[in-house]
Amino acid sequence: MWLRLGGALLITILVMAALEYFGVSSLLGGRSAEDAQHDLDGRLSELFWFAMFAIVMTMSVVAALRRWSGHLRRAMTIAPLKRRNVA
């Protein structure tokens, strides 16, 4: 699971870097690369990316907990002790 999440994050970063390198992002946005960079430097952009990271990490942890919920329930319960018959 963590390998898939890391792979998806790596691919996303590589695609964003390639778009920026080839100047495609300026074609899609309708503004120059300098204007786009200036707009991205704001606090709102940082908050947006932090929120995206938090959502992705939360969902991956929730998925892992759901997958392992049976194991966790068994680990958290205390098994009754068996009495030994001492004669």
pTM of the model: 0.40
Report the C-alpha gap between 14 and 7 in whole angstroms: 10
Domain map (residue ranges) of the chain:
1-41, 42-76
Task: Grade residue 78 by pLDDT with cuts at 50, 70 and 90.
Answer: confident
Number of other CB atoms surrounding residue 76 within 10 Å: 7
The span from the CA of 58 to the CA of 66, in Å, is 12
Residues 14-50 pLDDT 10s: 888 887 777 765 555 566 667 666 666 666 777 788 8
Tokens 């958290």: give the residue: 76
